[in-house]
Structure 1
């Protein structure tokens, strides 16, 4: 009778980072061209009134909980996407030794900036 050996699986945090990477990539793919169109073409050409994007209106939007959440998502997810790509790009460049410091550096920076932006945004209430 064969005894079944218990398999031990090492838990990984990688699915979380891949999820943030995918969400940030989707946001970059869909939102960035729209933002470039609005701020780079439509406003300078006069198709959209500049007064809609003045400081007071944008500050009023960012001072609401949903505005702060939207701005946080628009900043944090592309940031996580970028640093996840950098982390795996280092491996592609042949920098393989000591992956822990690379992980801490990339994901730690993305986490720190995300928390900093969240603190700034939610302090405006």
Structure 2
């Protein structure tokens, strides 16, 4: 008798991709958007002006980049939170998985819908 197929590889893929993206880009994004541009280090504050950020969000590749960052960070965080719940003694049952992965899915859908609403 064969075992039923697991959906765990899908969640591990999203977790791994989000972890890699956050490791490679997360610190740079925090530094640039949180410190360097607002304080005028290396970059002009005009770099993150509304028209420029809107142009990024309206471009196809910009939409793809923003969606990847938001969605993959959310999936990575959801899996980390689920593992942390297990570490503090909360069983990783169906409710915990639905809450964690459901919130990551909702964040991904909201980000995609809002990026589409911005227009091209």
Q: TM-score, normalised by structure 1?
A: 0.86
Question: Is 1:25 matched with 2:15?
Answer: no
Give unpaired runs (5+ residues) of structure 2: none
C-alpha change, 1:41 and 1:105, in structure 2 (3 Å) is closer
Query: Aligned equivalents of 2:80 and 2:33: distance in 1?
Result: 26
User: Whose helix proportion is higher, 1 or 2?
Assistant: 2
What's the CA shift for 1:41? 3.8
What's the CA shift for 1:104? 0.8
CA RMSD of aligned residues (A): 1.5
- Give the aligned partner of residue 85 of structure 1: 80
Query: Aligned equivalents of 2:40 and 2:53: distance in 1?
Result: 20
Q: Is the 8 A contact 1:23 1:77 kept in 2?
A: yes
What's the CA shift for 1:30? 1.1
Q: TM-score, normalised by structure 2?
A: 0.90
Between the two structures, name the one with larger relative contact order (CA 8 Å, sep ≥ 6).
Answer: 1
Range with greater deviation from structure 2 (19-28 or 45-54): 45-54
C-alpha change, 1:124 and 1:45, in structure 2 (3 Å) is closer
Task: Return the index of the structure with the highest Cα Rg.
Answer: 1
Q: 1:52 aligns with which of 29, 47, 51?
A: 47
